[in-house]
Amino acid sequence: PEASYTVKFDAGNHTFSCATGCNILGGAFSADKSKFKFDLSTSTMMMCPDMSVEDTLKRILPTVTGYGPVDGGIGFYSGTDRPVMVIVR
């Protein structure tokens, strides 16, 4: 709860970045009406006291295949009815 994580999308360039509190992950994305794909291609590699956020994002982002509205945010799905990640503003 005390940590701050951010995800930024640049729709014009179809790129994204995730700030995890220690490292930054990024790459390209593609989207249409219901499909979504992250192409994770860059990452800073500083050693952090807790690498769990980076490790989780590196594991989850490549599996995302769709997206949709979820409780005031956007849910990202990996072939299931439950989102694997939710982003709220």
SS3 readout for 46-57: CCCCCCHHHHHH
From the list 72, 68, 44, the residue with the least C-alpha distance to 57 is 44
Instruction: Please give the chain's pLDDT, 89 residues, in tens.
Output: 456 788 999 999 999 999 988 899 999 999 998 899 999 999 998 888 888 888 889 999 999 999 999 988 999 999 878 899 999 87
- pTM score > 0.75 for this model? yes
Beta strand 66-70 with 36-43: parallel, antiparallel or unpaired? Answer: unpaired
Q: Which residue has 């640049």 as its token pair?
A: 10
| Per-residue DSSP letter, 44 | -
- For the chain, the farthest-separated pair of C-alpha atoms sits apart, in whole angstroms, at 39
